[in-house]
Amino acid sequence: MKRTRVLTAAIGAAAAAAVLAGCGGGDDMSNMPGHGAPTSASQPGANPQAANNAADVTFAQGMVPHHEQAIEMSRLAPERAQSEEVKNLARQIEAAQGPEIQTLTGWLRDWGAPASMPGMDHGAMGHGDIGHGDIGNGDMGGMMSDTEMQQLERARGAEFDRQFLTLMIKHHEGAVAMAQTELTSGQFPAAKQLAQQIIDTQQAEIETMRGLLSQG
């Protein structure tokens, strides 16, 4: 669990950085080492010359592993879920968040920023490892703990559906909160646009999941 403790500390430090960025009035970091203007647009409509700040970097670095865990959860559904609605939702989540991961990592590369938060071994967080000591204790934006992931993996049928929906609602609520912070404190226009897209999409999915839970 050493990696768990390191990640938790890294998330706290990153969150503090985002708060400071917001209090600092969105300082332009385009002239600072590691935060230059992007060299290429990583998303349609993105301006490669637009400035970014610390909150943008924190948003991207935090949302990548967050999305990766959602995809790992979703990949459990085809063989475990009973409800076709849950299976369809899982496919929808994976289809939406996979491309967003590529966009976010592209921005980090363009900005010359690390692909992961300081102290976090992002390279070890392949889809098969997420939720097993790499993510940590679930404190970051509604992310699942190791125990919750293990319980979800063991569940089958209606019990899997219940756990998946309950945990994914919490997970989505965390992503929405992270995206709202980006809207408030971020500076990079395309990142703020993606943040709004995440809010709109995941709030709608939360309502869908609550409806499915109420049927069960």
* Average pLDDT, rounded, for the chain: 79
Residue 124 inside a domain? The answer is yes
Count of the separate structural domains present in the chain:
1
41 inside domain: no
Distance of alpha carbon 86 from alpha carbon 208, whole angstroms: 10
Per-residue three-class SS string for 149-192? HHHHHHCCHHHHHHHHHHHHHHHHHHHHHHHHHHHHHCCCHHHH
114, part of any domain:
yes
Task: Decide if 155 is inside a domain.
Answer: yes
Top pLDDT among 49 and 216 is at 216
User: What mean pLDDT comes out for the span 147-169?
Assistant: 98
13 occurs within a structural domain: yes
Give domain status of residue 49, yes or no.
Answer: no
Q: Which residue has the higher pLDDT, 215 or 28?
A: 215
Residue 119's pLDDT is 59
Structural domain includes residue 14: yes
What is the domain extent for residue 6? 2-18+55-215
pLDDT in tens, 2-37: 443 333 444 444 444 444 444 444 444 443 333 333
Inside any domain, residue 48: no
CATH number at 207 reads 1.20.1260.10
The pTM assigned to this predicted structure is: 0.72
